[in-house]
Amino acid sequence: MLAVRKTGAYPGISLDQISEPTAPGADEVVVEVAAAGICGSDVHVYEWSTGYAFMKSKLPVTLGHEFSGHVVSVGPGVTQVALGDLVTVIPTRSCMRCSYCAGGAPNLCLDRDTVGLTRDGAFARFVRVPALSCLKLAPDTDPVLAALIEPLSVGDHAANVGEVKSGDTVVVLGPGTIGQAAMRAARWRGALRVIAVGMHDESRLLTARAMGATHTLDLAEIASLTDAVLAINHGRLAEVVVEATGHPSSVSAGLDILCRGGILVAAGIHAVPVTFDLTRLVRNSQQIRGAHGSRRRSWEMVAERIALEPESVRPMVSIELDLADAQLGFEKCLAREVSKVILRPT
């Protein structure tokens, strides 16, 4: 079968013919992939930017961790899903032995493996995964939208970490897919205003509107972000800021527009250390909290939202391509021309 793989510790991907996965072992299933999204982290892996050296010992590996598909083969002992079920797969599997797992927080596990990063993923027709990682979906769920559950759950987790409440004003720095997911999640949680901020980002800010942003700001077109937020928000600063850019200046800019006692959620991956005025943060009783990945509860909630209101998340999908055109899909992501690119292996 055709597979999009990372084969070496250098930039690029390769499209290779590889053998189909072997029969599932105990507690495993094989999923025939219906749709798989290209994630920002896949693009980092493509570029081979810093922070992905952990993959080196696992190469070559088939990429793809945001996906849906049908169960086509079931190993011994599997009870969670059955042949023919439409599922999405929580890509990160926790060890269930470390102190975090034992303490009931498997999302903080020290020893995780991830489908599509450290074991073969879904940019191929078939993928073998642990049955416990599958989330069974309503059979009439659109498989393309089901492939969005992963990034949407990351956004939901960020909104949860930021304790977004009804009536809040939330500013999301960065209109990429995680930013868009955080906007949608903030609206689901009742935020009154969601302000999306980009930089030379006309098309992604348009998508941000469709994903729930009530206002958009392009830094290339305004003199002061703080003034613009105050103008939109009737003279008040934001209760929650979500940083989803990875740009070094964005934490400081985010604290400038955060109210006293507010929470800045850091969800972007930064290639270099960040500086900001800590004393001012202390005096303003602000908090910075890191949000990475998500918890199963977010997956379940997003899956139900998609079943109830599929059109509320569809704008995130920019294009669907055959798996054979993966290179083109990555190039569009690199050019920041698109939100989510969906690859379809069949």
Which residues bind to Zn ion, rule: CB under 5 A? 39, 66, 94-95, 98, 101, 109
CB 96, min distance to Zn ion, A: 6
CB 111, min distance to Zn ion, A: 5
CB 141, min distance to Zn ion, A: 19
**CB nearer to Zn ion: pick between 95 and 219:** 95
**CB nearer to Zn ion: pick between 106 and 315:** 106
228 by DSSP, 3-state: which? helix
- Rounded Cα distance between 209 and 221, Å, is 17
CB 210, min distance to Zn ion, A: 20
**CB nearer to Zn ion: pick between 30 and 39:** 39
- Rounded Cα distance between 72 and 33, Å, is 10
Residues 35 and 146 sit within 8 Å (Cβ to Cβ)? yes
- Rounded Cα distance between 206 and 338, Å, is 11
CB 75, min distance to Zn ion, A: 23
**CB nearer to Zn ion: pick between 66 and 239:** 66
87 by DSSP, 3-state: which? strand
- Rounded Cα distance between 33 and 232, Å, is 44
Measure the CA dihedral 330/331/337/343, to 10°.
Answer: -30
Residues 177 and 317 sit within 8 Å (Cβ to Cβ)? no
- Rounded Cα distance between 197 and 76, Å, is 49
177 by DSSP, 3-state: which? helix
Q: Which residues, at least 6 apart from 218, have a Cβ–Cβ distance to it below 8 Å? A: 197, 198, 199, 200, 201, 202, 205
**CB nearer to Zn ion: pick between 67 and 188:** 67
**CB nearer to Zn ion: pick between 42 and 168:** 42
CB 67, min distance to Zn ion, A: 10
99: its two tokens: 């102190």
**CB nearer to Zn ion: pick between 67 and 168:** 67
Per the document, the length of the chain is 346
CB 110, min distance to Zn ion, A: 6
